[in-house]
Amino acid sequence: MRAPMLKVDRLCKSFNSLKVSNSVSFSVSQGEALGIIGPNGAGKSTLFNLITGNLRPDSGRIELMDMGDVTGMPPMQRCIAGVGRSFQIPQPFDELTVFENLLVAAAHGRGLSEHDACDKCGEILEQTELMTVANQRAGGLRLLQRKRLELARAMATGPKLLLLDEIAGGLTECESASLVATIRAIHKGGATLIWIEHVLHALNSVVERLMVLDFGRVIGIGAPFDMMNSEAVKTVYLGIEA
């Protein structure tokens, strides 16, 4: 058993009377890739916001490897502690160039000087196939490039744990395949991933375990094949009458 990179313990969060996270517990080992699926409104993105500190939980605990309890830590410090994320709707810094988007993440997320961060950013731009648009304004990019930029910027912060929120959503089959290849390479390089995705075949080609959320609860966690075939998952997620 590898050491847990992230341990989430009985995490609860409500928006008024709506329980978006209802006693969610799971852990992710170092180097593992965990996929998260669930219907719209199941609390997937909320879970990410809780892990990154953009939202505060009502109760429960979040532990990071080497850091211990990070439940009360603000997002900036969690990023520096090693949590990198991409946003569901790409949110580049529009007025900055693609390279500058990475540079600000590498310089501040890793605490490097711009000079030292430069090489790292160059490598990531090559790995994510963004080198040709490096010096273009990020606001003018097409969707695939925006998605790639989300991934690249998250990587630039030097994450130990990388959270990807529907990064393949809205892409064509072909675009999605090339992005998945990039993500698989990043995972092979040793990164710990948690990946929310509706495009199941993309997800299942990378992740080792799948967690299914519904109405803020974990209704199953296990090998992708077992999950896809479990009755509970078929009922709530795929909408098939059991």
**Residue 221 contacts another protein per CB under 8 A:** no
The least CB distance from residue 83 to another protein, in Å, is 8
**Residue 91 contacts another protein per CB under 8 A:** yes
**Residue 135 contacts another protein per CB under 8 A:** yes
Q: What length is written for the chain? A: 242
CB 84 within 8 A of CB 155: yes
**Residue 66 contacts another protein per CB under 8 A:** no
Separation between Cα atoms, residue 22 and residue 49, nearest integer Å = 15
**Residue 104 contacts another protein per CB under 8 A:** yes
**Residue 128 contacts another protein per CB under 8 A:** no
Window of 91-99, 185-193, 200-208, 233-241 that interacts with another protein by CB under 8 A: 91-99
**Residue 121 contacts another protein per CB under 8 A:** yes
**Residue 156 contacts another protein per CB under 8 A:** yes
Tell me phi and psi for residue 74, to 5 degrees: -70, 160
CB 57 within 8 A of CB 9: no
The least CB distance from residue 132 to another protein, in Å, is 7
Separation between Cα atoms, residue 17 and residue 25, nearest integer Å = 21
Window of 72-80, 168-176, 215-223, 230-238 that interacts with another protein by CB under 8 A: 72-80
Between 25 and 135, name the residue whose CB sits nearer to another protein.
135
Q: Which residue has tokens 């500058």? A: 100
The least CB distance from residue 17 to another protein, in Å, is 26
**Residue 73 contacts another protein per CB under 8 A:** no
- What are the residues whose beta carbons fall under 8 Å from the beta carbon of 51, sequence distance 6 or more? 6, 8, 62, 83, 163, 194
Separation between Cα atoms, residue 147 and residue 133, nearest integer Å = 13
CB 39 within 8 A of CB 45: no
Q: Pick from 5, 12, 14: which is nearest to 61 by CA?
A: 12
Between 36 and 138, name the residue whose CB sits nearer to another protein.
138
Structure tokens at 119: 């090489």
Contacting residues toward another protein, per CB under 8 A: 52, 54, 74-76, 79-80, 85, 87, 91-97, 99-101, 103-105, 107-111, 113-115, 118-119, 121-122, 125, 131-132, 134-137, 153-154, 156-157
